[in-house]
Every structure is written in structure tokens, then in C-alpha cells.
Amino acid sequence: MAYYQPPMAFQPPANDPCRAWFDAVDVDRSGYVSPPELTQCLQRAGHNFSVEICAKMIRMFDRDGSGQISFMEFQQLFAFLNGMIAGFRARDRDGSGRLDGGEVRIALQQSGYQLAEPTFQLMMRKFDRAQQGSLDLNGYTELSVALGTARNVFSFYDRSRTGQVTFTFDTFTTASMSMMV
């Protein structure tokens, strides 16, 4: 008589760089990564991300709403972060560590965002913490997370994919609250 054997947990190859990063980030060995753990690890790697932006990034990939991410969720965050860093470096033509407004606008357009000038200027002011008219990697990532979140919430309501929705105040409030992090 055969007994049920649960499926084996996914075990990546020992040389998997994502697993190595996950193990380095998971300081308490809980099997999950929290915003403070991610922040500390990224700061040790030379990336000055705030706890707030790390929490926002974790929320993007946290499928069960626990406030922390498993290895499977971390793999998606790892790919996202590597893409953000590579994209930022490629667009930072002068090597200043900041993207000016023109570079940010081109990056957004290449990502499919067509924003009116007042909206773009508002976003630049919001995420340019140093008020230099440019974004560092932290601000650029935070802007990208905010736009991605807004796009996902909008897409939920734009079921016919027309690019337009009509909101009641109640629905607008619900949509707005789901974007607040």
C-alpha cells in the first residue's frame, strides 16, 4: 500500500546567486525576509535604500500579505532590484549617481508611461528628496514602485482596457487606500 508523499520543496542549485543573497538577507534564519533585513543587506552592498522603500518593495511581492517574503517571492524581488539597478546605471550617462528630469522622463516613456507634464513634475518633486531636480537610485526605485502600484490598481478597475475608468467617491477612496503604503 502506497502512502502519500508530499511534494519536495523547491531547492535551487547550490550555486544559485539568488539563494546566496536570500540566505545573506535572512539574518534571523526564519525562512522569510523582513524590511529591516532587506534594508541592512542592501546597505551593506552599497545601496542606500530606506526601510520605507524596502517595505514597499516587499509589499509588491508579498503574495500572502505577511509583511515579509519567502524565497519564492524573494526571487521576484531579486530580479526586480537587479533590473532597477541595471536600468538606473544605464540611464545615468554622466555617472553622477542621479538621473535628471530628462533621463527620468525617457525611462518612464520606455516603460510605457505617458504622463502629462504637470503629473511628471509632481512626481519628480515627490521623489526628489534632495530637491536637486534629479533622482538617486532610492528615489527612482520609489517612483517606479509607486507607478507600478498605481498601474496595477488602475488595471483592476479598467476591466475593458480602455485606459479610462469612472469612479464613485467610494470606489476612488478604495483605490486610493490600496495604493497607500
Encode pLDDT of 100-150 as tens digits.
999 999 999 998 899 999 999 999 999 998 899 999 999 999 999 899 888
Going from the N-terminus, what domains does the chain have, and what CATH number goes with each? 17-91 (1.10.238.10), 93-181 (1.10.238.10)
26 pLDDT above the threshold of 60: yes
Angstrom distance (rounded) from CA 99 to CA 174 = 33
Question: Would you tell me the crossing angle of helices 137-157 and 101-110 to the nearest 10 degrees?
Answer: 40
Residues 47-76: tens digit of each pLDDT: 888 898 899 899 889 988 899 999 999 999
CB 99 within 8 A of CB 108: no
Angstrom distance (rounded) from CA 155 to CA 149 = 10
CB 124 within 8 A of CB 140: no
Angstrom distance (rounded) from CA 24 to CA 35 = 14
Single pTM value for the model = 0.79
